[in-house]
Every structure is written in C-alpha cells, then in structure tokens.
Amino acid sequence: MFSNPLKIIFVLGWVLYFFGIYSPSAVRFRRAKIASEHTRPLDIFFDMFTFIAWQVLPLIYVFSGWLRDADYQLPLWAGWLGVGVFLCALILLRSAYAALGANW
C-alpha cells in the first residue's frame, strides 16, 4: 500500500488540506447567516461529482489496487516536482481561504 514514499506525502498533504485548511473554513461558512439559498439540484450534482473525482478517487488509488491498471512509472524527479507543486497549492489555498474569510 505505502511502498512509495510519495504516496505517504500525498496522504499527509491531503490530511493537512482537509482537516487544516478546508474543514475550519467550512465550519465558519456553515455558521454564517445565509439570507436565502439559491442552490439548484444540478449544482449539487456537480459538486458531488467534483468531490468524488478530486477527493475519493486519489484515495482509492493510494489505499487499494483497484486502479493499478492505469498506473505507470514516472521518473523520480517528476514525483518530487509534484510534491513541490502540491505544497505551493496548499499554501495558495490557505492564503485564498484566509483572504476570502466567510465570503467563499
């Protein structure tokens, strides 16, 4: 399961994002008063589809062999470049959530 150290780094980054950046912002958003809700069913469908594609599928790839047929080997430098891009994305997301506050 965790034979590749890059998978461990990915899981740690995902946990940092979900519990350190996203969840506190979501809690603040849910506590805010909403004058009126204009969410359509199609919006909810696309939000759920996006959540599955961006959050669930990568975790299935890391924790199971179900997507092993789609796996291929990258050069080691590409994996570490991905770690750097992932770290920059986490910093950017944290800054965006902080700047937007309750308006996201």
Note the pLDDT tens digit of each residue in 30-79: 777 666 667 788 988 998 999 888 888 888 888 888 888 888 888 999 99
Report the alpha-carbon distance of residue 104 to residue 96 in Å, rounded. 9
Q: Is the pTM of this model over 0.85?
A: no
Report the alpha-carbon distance of residue 91 to residue 85 in Å, rounded. 10
| pLDDT mean across residues, the chain | 85
1 has pLDDT over 70:
no
* Per-residue pLDDT at 35: 65
**Alpha carbon distances (Å) from 79 to 20, 82, 86:** 23, 5, 10
Count CA atoms closer than 13 A to 46's CA, side-chain side: 5
* Per-residue pLDDT at 68: 81
